[in-house]
Amino acid sequence: MPTFLNLRRTLVLAVLFAIAGPAIPSFAQSRPESQFFDPVAVVDGIQLSRSECAALEKNETAIWVEADGQPACLRYFAAGLKTGPGPNPIAAIWLNGDVLGPGGRNADKRQKGFGPAVMVAQEQRLADRFGVPSIFLGRPGTYGSSGKHYTMRGRPIEADLVNAALDGLSKRYGIQSWALGGHSGGGTIVAELLARRDDVRCAVISSGASAYRTYLEARGLIKPGDKLTRFDPYVSLDKIQADPARRIFIIGDPRETNVPFSSQTLYFEGLVARGHSAWLIPLRRATDERHHDLVDFGETANEMCAAGASTETILATMKTMPEPPPRLTN
């Protein structure tokens, strides 16, 4: 028989529930930080100790990873995630392009005058707009991530560390699948990771050198038969697992002079020949001199795919979306 105290406790809990309403999931968002990115450090190389990384991890803006015996503290900026352990059925993540000019000497264009606060706000806008958790992951040596960008970009260790970061974020937040997108050098990593992961439901590559040797040869940067020190996703095509539910979008401007559209087409044809669901989007909408900058289009396609938009809607949006305003990040 219920006691008076038990009845009283039940009544109090009922009143509290009526006031507060049913429990709702809490959401994780990276906490803004006041400092700015340092373009000099991007050129010289960024160093972060384990303890420094741990302090950033408390703000949910960093993750400590290790690959091939090399540790790194990679910065990320997220919004809209259910707090760990989730679950988060899918999250959209973006990998930036290269941030250094010729010779690795100029980072002012992409790494000056802003910092984590801008990055968090950017991801919050994306999460609000598309209704899916959104993350920006800084490649090694960029956007505050440790490492030397100029000597690591495109090398196997870079792909290894990014892959480890995806594993760590999946575990931290219970992320079950990824919409994995990237621009230029970030897109090259996306293509490489397609051959390594079975949890990618959407992949978007904008202006990416996904057939890397072909890209270098077309630019006259190497000769046929020269040793390649960077990873080439084209040679890993046979390692991509079959997944009829996965969609892959290759976005490029046919007028491009940086990453020839022919090399992007070659990778696309390799995907289709192996039975993967892929779409090539020739988009004459890059307004920069090299017709390379399609970041906003790629990011939009990635977010839409994560949100479950139909392929037809994504393709139509690429053609009709308004001209993007200038942006700091890539």
Total domains in the fold of the chain: 1
What pLDDT shows up at residue 256?
97
pLDDT score, position 146: 98
Q: What letter would DSSP give residue 175?
A: B
C-alpha 259/C-alpha 253 separation (Å) is 9
pLDDT score recorded for residue 26: 58
Tell whether 194 is covered by a domain. yes
List pLDDT tens digits, range 55-111.
999 999 999 999 999 999 999 999 999 998 899 999 999 999 999 877 778 888 789
Mean pLDDT value of segment 297-306? 98
> Mean pLDDT, the chain, as a whole number?
91
- Flag whether 20 is in a domain: no
Name residues whose C-beta falls within 8 Å of residue 81's C-beta, 6 or more positions apart in sequence: 27, 28, 29, 88, 91, 133, 135, 173, 175
DSSP strands (E only) in 91-226: 91-95, 134-137, 178-183, 200-206
- Domain membership of residue 327 (yes or no) is no
Contact 120, 77 (CB under 8 A): yes
Q: What secondary structure does DSSP assign to 210-221, as a single string?
A: SSHHHHHHHTTS
Cα–Cα dist 85/103, whole Å: 43
For 206-231, what is each residue's pLDDT tens digit?
999 999 999 999 999 999 999 999 99
Average pLDDT, stretch 233-254? 98
Per-residue pLDDT tens over the stretch 136-154: 999 999 999 999 999 999 9
pLDDT band of 6, cuts 50, 70, 90: very low
Q: Does residue 13 form part of some domain?
A: no
Q: What is the pLDDT of residues 245-301, one digit of tens each?
A: 999 999 999 999 999 999 999 999 999 999 999 999 999 999 999 999 999 999 999
Instruction: Tell whether 178 is covered by a domain.
Output: yes
- 19 domain residue, yes or no: no
* CATH classification at residue 212: 3.40.50.1820
Nearest Cα neighbor of 111 from 163, 149, 57 is 149
Is pLDDT above 60 for 309?
yes
pLDDT of residue 22: 37
**Tokens found for residue 180:** 């994995």
Residue 330 included in any domain: no
Residue 306 and residue 134: Cα distance in Å, rounded?
9
Q: What is the DSSP letter of 306?
A: H
Q: Report yes or no on 88 lying in a domain.
A: yes
Range of the domain at 143: 28-320
pTM value? 0.91
Q: Cα–Cα–Cα angle for 313, 318, 324, nearest 5°?
A: 130
Q: How far apart are CA 260 and CA 207, in angstroms?
A: 9
